[in-house]
Copies of this chain bind each other. A is one copy, B any other.
């Protein structure tokens, strides 16, 4: 269910380690939950390798298509962290050490009594025209340029940056949902459920099978932005199912 005033988004996960299986992604679920809760519709996710051409192509495809593009990964201090340079290339802008980012990192180094080394300073390099996205955990900031929000890959830091940028985002109507849990295989309710979807075309209906206590079970999930329609669709479906 997408309506004209929906605010849409895509998520781009950057990192060889997800594609090799070494690291199991936790950011897709966390970003999906957060965006759903604030009224932004996550429409697409991509995972690409630490490869500049791949990142540039994905960034330009996704930022043109959705209201926002969130990225995670590749903004650390090592040679395989190429996200900031790739974003600059995608936007066709220069990249250099940002004085605001440098000041934040210098202050944090002073407190800890450590040197702001060239490697650390690499994390202060931002594409021209970026706004900082605060990192409440480890200081080195994320950034927002145009409609693209660039965040760290470490889940705790990613979440801190997502919280920090949220007040700046335009949001739409929250998608509400209701779940009906059934102890039956979905093939038993498929026809009835399809008829119910035809009756409520403005309520998105999905069926999710699983095993509960060794027996087939089904969750029917109804989603809509209008609470009255959602309640009506849920109550009439429960009556039809006899639950």
Q: Is the CB of B80 within 8 A of A207?
A: yes
Chain A contact residues: helix, strand, loop or mixed: mixed
Copies in the complex: 2
Query: With an 8 A cutoff between CB atoms, is A50 at the interface?
Result: yes
Does A45 lie at the interface of the complex (its beta carbon under 8 Å from any beta carbon of B)? yes
The closest CB in chain B to the CB of A29 belongs to: B24
Do A47 and B45 contact each other (CB < 8 Å), given the known contacts A209-B76, A223-B20? yes
Cβ–Cβ contact A44 & B45, under 8 A: no
Distance between Cα atoms of A19 and B46 in the complex (Å): 11
Known: A21-B32, A32-B21, A193-B78. A44 touches B47 (CB 8 A): yes
**Closest CB of chain B to A224's CB: distance in Å?**
12
A20 and B186 in contact (CB under 8 A), knowing A47-B45, A193-B78, A207-B80?
Answer: no
When distances are taken between beta carbons in the complex, the residues of chain B under 8 Å from A194 are: 78-79
Q: Mark A121-157, 1 if CB is under 8 A from B, else 0.
A: 0110000000000000000000000000000001010
A204 within 8 A of B: yes
CB distance from A85 to the nearest CB of B (A): 14
Which residues of B lie under 8 Å from residue A177 when comparing CB positions?
20, 22
Number of A interface residues at 8 Å Cβ cutoff, please give it.
64
A208 at the interface (CB under 8 A from B): yes
Which of B23, B28, B187, B223 is close to A208, meaning CB atoms less than 8 Å apart? B23
- Is A25 part of the contact surface with B, judged by Cβ < 8 Å? yes
Residues of A within 8 A of B (CB): 13, 16-25, 28-29, 32-36, 41-50, 54, 76-81, 117-120, 122-123, 154, 156, 175, 177, 186-191, 193-194, 197, 204-211, 221, 223
